[in-house]
Structure 1
């Protein structure tokens, strides 16, 4: 059997590897713990891998990988063209892909205050598609849906606003583990909190994932090739991730040390990308190793409700990126200009990352122009805290904090079977730091320990 994988796969395809022992890949799990995603083709097991992006693979009747060869390689070969030419290419392709993906179906559009879904909104409106849109906010957090609703109103879309409830995770955790197979931690896909409501909608999802990576600079200006490893680590390693991975490595008595293994692995993967421009090289690295093993995993939650379409995942979009000059991609210029030229009213709505400014005036988001908003926003938050209302910015705050959540969380962290996989001393130390020192910094280690515990129950329970 032959399987051709897209440039950015939506699904993982698992295969068996001849000659590898049927035992846990502890080193791969340490990388997972540090970053929240498995690297390259690794899984929990040494004898099991996933097919790599952009490859054609031969699989035998028993599920073993016979051969694998690349049909696509990321390059940076910009053509000599004007910004307007790049913009026209992007516009034509985006609208063509969305038109093909949606056809005569009803589109379900998750709207945010950012640029990816806003670009899709403009394209869907321009193409005359039938659209149901929605957004969600955290209970006690910034009301992101207020921006989304304005976009929907300008485009004439139906709109629903959802609020992510506290404590939903514990009733959903087994279902979520079945959906993502424990290849991602459980607090990032907040759409799980409103999954039943999403199932009530009709149509197919149009999702904007990975547009923010493709249509922006891959790395900071002036970064040197010799600094790429540390630069990537700053991007992908989560707060507290290094400490968790180092402790797991030590407790499992693995050869060498995690820091060296991390650096060697990162350098080895970078060496496979034959691109001299460092910004384009970082973008390729993210698209090859991060998108399929992190972003794509959480797409499965949407797919549990309705079929999904992703214009930025289309092979043609990835191929186009390879020929657009970095100067045109940097700072989201193409997306911003596309929205401004095709729907100025949508462009005038607040850009969440630059609030209270919009796509027409975000260049003023600096002192002294932004001081009135920053002062007012700070006073609002202080007043909210004074009234005993915590300002919620992250899903884990709703799912981990508080007595009821703690009881549920601890039932997984201190499960006897799990503590045979992960040293209870490691669990206790990191959980104690989460409770008493810095919950923001240690929320990732706690979430990863929860993920490993749920996985352990599923595979060994």
Structure 2
């Protein structure tokens, strides 16, 4: 069995009998408490770990030799590297265009494509490669009581003649979906990021292949890191990138509650250092990109693909092995600031380039570098003021801009959240009720932004306990 460079779906194996298997909420398996603490702090499991000591995930770019049903040997088949060629930006854009076009045509042939659209570059580049096509079913979504994000998808679909649906993510959608979602993602990711399940009934019948742009923003950008950092400095950069707000505090609290030996922070550093040492790249930006692609993409991004995969096959052009190999040969100076994707869209679909880029609205791909100029300062101020004034004129108390706000805030959400945090017996016996109560109070009374992640992770662990106990 050969795993892809970036696996779009986890394959599990039992270390006791060396056999590939399905994930199970197994009461007989010992819990890997250290890995669960790391998971609570970062939002994804590190390396090949899971909730259980005896259950691992197949590693990326690894060949597994089988004897009957058992794994007899595993060997790394490819490693991330940085081997930049002396090519111009123009040549890099043209090579990307050729590769992107070819693999897309191969993968979507004979399929009715479903294309999620946003105001960013990844889905816009996908719209560009599809060309004008009235058989593509495109959609975008925005929060109820949130910012009008659908306008970007609508504009892109209009230029390309796609079929288009503008969807709404309703308040309190999570609670009628949460147990289904827990079974789909095996509680290997928290629930605040998979908002696509809120509209599953609407996009499930649009076509037969999801065309998804995940990981383009990582491959086709630099990591905004200074070159020449030593190992300790690189480790500190990684910690800042992967630790969620409040995550370190939650990880430490669980570590202490379970009586684990040593210091949580030092143990996390040791684990990251172990994973980082396997990446033999001198360039700091390329090394961190490789780290994220090896460990973050398959254990967080891929886990969150489960809702799409439940309905249809998925095609992720930025996950393709050829795309990863291509990236390893492109100079960092060409990857920085999304230059290749911007150049590609401007080259093949200039009409799409003229649609505002959400991050720089009202600027587009042709003039976004002027966004922070004095000319656009009044426009930026007026846009933010108008957004909040319009919201209040509609009689809405708060502008929803973040996933957790639509899931945790408001009376109905609070009632459901407290039910899962405080009324699930296996959870209360595993994680002290006073620990859960302390983090919930901090979320409600001190800083909801900072403590939204700990609350979401405690909710995830509660669902894990519930499903493991079979209740």
TM-score (norm 1): 0.96
Q: Give the equivalent residue in structure 1 for 2:161.
A: 156
Is 1:408 matched with 2:416?
Answer: yes
Partner residue of 2:323 out of 314, 317, 330: 317
Q: Using the alignment, how far apart are the partners of 1:388 and 1:330 within structure 2?
A: 40
Partner residue of 1:203 out of 208, 211, 221: 208
SS for the counterpart of 1:413 is helix
> Contact 1:142/1:392 (CA < 8 Å) preserved in 2?
yes
Is 1:438 matched with 2:450?
Answer: no
Counterparts of 1:420-439 in structure 2 under 5 Å?
420-439=429-448
Q: Using the alignment, how far apart are the partners of 1:117 and 1:388 within structure 2?
A: 31
In structure 2, the CA distance between the partners of 1:202 and 1:87, relative to structure 1 (3 Å rule), is same
Counterparts of 1:192-271 in structure 2 under 5 Å?
192-222=197-227, 224-226=229-231, 227-271=233-277
- Deviations along 1:182-203, one digit per CA (max 9) or x if unpaired, are 1111120111100011112122
SS for the counterpart of 1:281 is helix
Q: Give the equivalent residue in structure 1 for 2:21.
A: none
Q: Give the equivalent residue in structure 1 for 2:463.
A: 454
In structure 2, the CA distance between the partners of 1:385 and 1:220, relative to structure 1 (3 Å rule), is farther
Q: Give the equivalent residue in structure 1 for 2:337.
A: 331
Q: Using the alignment, how far apart are the partners of 2:357 and 2:9 within structure 1?
A: 31
Q: Which runs of 5+ in 2 are unaligned?
A: 19-27
Aligned CA RMSD, in angstroms, stands at 1.7
Partner residue of 1:363 out of 369, 385, 391: 369
In structure 2, the CA distance between the partners of 1:262 and 1:424, relative to structure 1 (3 Å rule), is same
Q: Using the alignment, how far apart are the partners of 2:134 and 2:106 within structure 1?
A: 11
Q: Using the alignment, how far apart are the partners of 1:60 and 1:186 within structure 2?
A: 38
Counterparts of 1:7-406 in structure 2 under 5 Å?
7-18=5-16, 22-59=29-66, 65-125=71-131, 130-222=135-227, 224-226=229-231, 227-383=233-389, 384-385=391-392, 387-406=395-414
Quote how far apart the aligned CAs of 1:86 are. 1.1
Q: Using the alignment, how far apart are the partners of 1:120 and 1:447 within structure 2?
A: 32
Residue range with higher mean Cα deviation, 392-401 or 424-433: 392-401
> Contact 2:134/2:162 (CA < 8 Å) preserved in 1?
no
SS for the counterpart of 1:417 is helix
Q: Using the alignment, how far apart are the partners of 1:391 and 1:101 within structure 2?
A: 40
Q: Using the alignment, how far apart are the partners of 2:460 and 2:335 within structure 1?
A: 36
Quote how far apart the aligned CAs of 1:448 are. 0.4
Quote how far apart the aligned CAs of 1:89 are. 1.1
- Deviations along 1:151-182, one digit per CA (max 9) or x if unpaired, are 11111111000010011111001111111111
Quote how far apart the aligned CAs of 1:372 are. 1.8
Aligned pair count reads 457
In structure 2, the CA distance between the partners of 1:382 and 1:121, relative to structure 1 (3 Å rule), is closer
Q: Using the alignment, how far apart are the partners of 1:225 and 1:124 within structure 2?
A: 43
Q: Using the alignment, how far apart are the partners of 2:228 and 2:242 within structure 1?
A: 17
Quote how far apart the aligned CAs of 1:404 are. 1.1
Q: Give the equivalent residue in structure 1 for 2:23.
A: none
Quote how far apart the aligned CAs of 1:354 are. 1.2
Q: Using the alignment, how far apart are the partners of 2:87 and 2:206 within structure 1?
A: 43
> Contact 1:37/1:183 (CA < 8 Å) preserved in 2?
yes
> Contact 1:116/1:209 (CA < 8 Å) preserved in 2?
yes
Q: Using the alignment, how far apart are the partners of 2:230 and 2:95 within structure 1?
A: 30
Q: Using the alignment, how far apart are the partners of 2:72 and 2:405 within structure 1?
A: 46
Residue range with higher mean Cα deviation, 10-19 or 283-292: 10-19
